[in-house]
Chains A and B, each alone.
Chain A
Amino acid sequence: MAGTLLMGAVAYDPKVVTIWDGFRDWFAAQGLAFDYVLYSNYERQVEALLAGHVHVAWNSPLAWVRAARMGPVTAVAMRDTDCDLTSVVVVRAGSGIESVADLTGLTVAVGAVDSPQATLIPLSYLRSLGVDDVKVQVHDIGVGKHGDHVGGERDAARALVSGAADAACMIDGNHLLFGVEGTMPAGSTRILAQTPPYDHCNFTVVAGAPADLVEQFRALLLGMSYDDPQVRPLLDLEGLKAWRDGRTSGYAQLERAVDEVGFYDAGGNVTAEDYRP
């Protein structure tokens, strides 16, 4: 496969095949030989990246954190929609819970155990506000897929509405979505807390990847225009309007969360208990 840039992606949804087949064709038309390999979970993907099986991986933020602990890697590009996300902690409107301190001893519904946005980051944020004695109710859907599947967050929201939990954690965009789709009826819930902004996925390149191909890949991505009718369907599918240069300044909250719960150790070994991707 000399001269071909190989990328790993996690098959969290059947549309992943449509997306990367589309990118593969488009890259080929631009003169870049590009192919992709699908993994069923991010842990396998990161291990394959560091072993050199692929040159670049489309990584979740948690996969980035692990890859960066395992070896020298760089983040070359990310979506505009990966920048400056926040998560919110939501309670029922009439619950009487007025501050995060009131959550002490109560049940907080979260997403999958490995979800940065619906579990790791918001729970870490609550701890930073002095709330570390809560009953965590995990809604595991797609373990190993680092919360890419929206189902865990939706189940957490349902648990809140039904009274099975006192609070629920979710990304800001899903809070908007769950209101629109009726999972959380308008006026039934209230936002108790919002985390500072953090970043999401990036293209992670392993040391030793062919630099010319990686640069061609990065330049083509950044040149994709939403005004181009050939490119627009691909960007719509992957959920972005423009690719941006990779930045690694938005992962500090997640790094802290990983350390607090011992999800990975300093060398990137999986140390979380009850985590079976």
Chain B
Amino acid sequence: MPVGQAVEVRGRAPELAVHLRAWCRAQGHRFDWPYVVRGSAAGAHRRGARAAGGRHAVAAHAPGHWGVAARGALVEAGGPDFPFALDDKDEVWTAAAAGIYRQAVASQWDPATAVDWDEPFELPAEVEAAVVQVMTYLIENENAALVVPARFLGQIHPHFREVVAVLAVQVADEARHVEVFTRRAELKGIPLGLSTAGGQASLLTLIEEPDFALAHFLLSVLGEGTFLSLLSFLERFAPDPVTRRVTHLALADEARHVAFGMAHMEAVLATDPTLHARLATAVRRRHDALASTAGLNAEVFDALVVLAAGAFTPAAIAEGFARVQALEADMDEGRRRRLAKLGFDPDEAAELAELHTRNFM
């Protein structure tokens, strides 16, 4: 209907003429009872509006003025600019995100029902103390693994919603890991273990890494990758059913976090030829920053030995020690395999795998 055209209005409501006059004024139409003459303001919000990408079209760059609009929405001109720092597809996108998100949502578990917290067991005091020390260590690592994706979540342009969604679920996963490890630690009522300065220093370097690709590499490829070995070890040698169950549940989530980290790295490496060198530099820099710290604390190492021993006898301890040595070899092997998969040559993969923090995460 063109501007200036009149339409006759009929109706039975006694207030019709009064309300139509007020409505026309608010809408910018001319009121000429019983006619409404179309004004030019109607539809102005759509003039000059542009679509924020398409339903199946992820843009190479998401402008700030798209803001939090739905992908594909018609965005009115003149709106505010949102300061999303990660607004280029090349920085954040992987085609694997949608599938990983679907898998993540389908794999959610409820700590209240997924674990039989009342299953009876009794451990030797030394072994229970070892389990509590390991849980204490796991919890601080899970806290760091929660904070890192959470920090980047708010910086990624919502246009790349599949990536945001994966990280959002990942944050929720880590919250559950913190919960179940805390419940296992507190299960028998003994005090929690030691959190060391060296361990926290290592995690702080992870949280402080400002570059999304580097942080994601350090956290998910190297750190969580290493944790796959650790959680498998804990599940396998768990001295009690609750420890076995909670590490099993966390392991399945971590495997997804590592898969997403690998997929993101492969995508970014394909578009950014300088990234290989920057990733290697990040590992070396972190190693240097942590060179003066103690690395994995002796309490955690000893606790892993006693936990894997299952009993506080010389023979069992010897067996536990051998198992932890095998674990460290397995961790190193896993890191080298993942680095090689990302295109590092075998020598550099071996060097970087070796330089990874002695704190594991």
Contact = CB atoms under 8 A, between A and B. Distances in A.
A229 B77 contact: yes
A227 interface: yes
Interface residues of B, number: 22
A175 B40 contact: no
B24 to A, nearest CB: 10
Contact of B22 (A173, A191, A239): A173
Interface string B4-21: 000000000011001101
Contacts of A191: 14-15, 18
A173 B23 CA distance: 7
A194 interface: yes
A176 interface: yes
Contacts of A233: 78
Contacts of B78: 228-230, 232-233
Given A190-B14, A242-B28, A172 B41 contact: no
Nearest to B39: A241
Given A176-B23, A232-B44, A88 B28 contact: no
Interface in A79-116: 80-81, 83-86, 88
B48 interface: yes
A242 to B, nearest CB: 7
A233 B79 CA distance: 9
A12 interface: no
Interface string A149-183: 00000000000000000000001110110010000
Given A81-B25, A86-B21, A175-B19, A242 B41 contact: yes
A226 interface: yes
A229 B41 contact: no
Interface in B19-45: 19, 21-23, 25-28, 31, 39-41, 44-45
Contacts of A85: 25
Q: Is the interface of A mostly helix, strand, loop or mixed?
A: mixed
Contacts of A81: 25-26
A172 B22 contact: yes
Interface in A189-244: 190-191, 194, 226-230, 232-233, 239, 241-242
Nearest to A171: B22
Nearest to B19: A176
B6 to A, nearest CB: 17
B26 A232 contact: no
Contacts of A230: 78
A86 B44 contact: no
Nearest to A88: B18
Contacts of B179: none
A85 B25 CA distance: 9
B76 interface: yes
Contacts of B23: 176
A14 to B, nearest CB: 19
A172 B41 CA distance: 21
A208 to B, nearest CB: 34
B77 A80 contact: no
A86 B18 contact: yes
B76 A229 contact: yes
Nearest to A174: B22
Contacts of B18: 86, 88, 172, 175-176, 191, 194
A261 to B, nearest CB: 25
A113 to B, nearest CB: 24
Nearest to B80: A233
Given A191-B15, A229-B76, A230-B78, A241 B28 contact: yes
A170 to B, nearest CB: 11
B334 to A, nearest CB: 54
B56 interface: no
B63 to A, nearest CB: 14
Contacts of A229: 48, 76-78
Contact of B15 (A171, A175, A228): A175
A190 B14 CA distance: 8
Contact of A173 (B15, B26, B28, B77): B26
Interface of B: 14-15, 18-19, 21-23, 25-28, 31, 39-41, 44-45, 47-48, 76-78
Given A84-B21, A175-B22, A227-B40, 5 more contacts: A80-B28, A176-B23, A227-B44, A228-B78, A242-B28
Interface of A: 80-81, 83-86, 88, 171-173, 175-176, 179, 190-191, 194, 226-230, 232-233, 239, 241-242
